Structure 1
Amino acid sequence: MNSVAELVFEQVRSLPEAEVREVLDFVGYLKSKHRTAEFAEGDEAADWVEFEKHACAWSGQYHRDECYDRKVLR
Structure 2
Amino acid sequence: MAIADLIYEQSKKLPEHLAREVLDFVGYLAERQERDQGRDLINAQESALKAVWDNPEDQAWDRV
In the superposition, the TM-score normalised over structure 2's length comes to 0.61
Q: Distance in 1 between matches of 2:35 and 2:5?
A: 27
Q: Over aligned residue pairs, what C-alpha RMSD do you find?
A: 1.1
Q: How much has 1:7 moved relative to structure 2?
A: 1.2
1:5 aligns with 2:27: no
How far does residue 8 in structure 1 lie from its aligned partner after superposition?
A: 1.0
1:20 aligns with 2:4: no
Identity between Structure 1 and Structure 2 (%): 42
What SS does the aligned partner of 2:11 have?
helix
Alignment partners' CA distance in 2, 1:37 and 1:7: 25
| Structure 2 Cα separation of the partners of residues 14 and 35 of structure 1 | 29
- Deviation at 1:33? 0.4
Q: 1:9, 1:34 → 2: CA distance? A: 20
Corresponding residue pairs, total: 43
Aligned partner letter, 1:35: E
Q: Which runs of 5+ in 2 are unaligned?
A: 47-64
Unaligned segments of structure 1, at least 5 residues: 45-74
Q: Are 1:30 and 2:29 counterparts? A: yes
Equivalent residue, structure 1, for 2:61:
none
Counterpart-to-counterpart distance in 2, 1:37 and 1:24: 20
Under a length normalisation based on structure 1, what TM-score does the superposition of the two structures give? Answer: 0.53
Structure 2 counterpart of 1:16, one-letter code: P
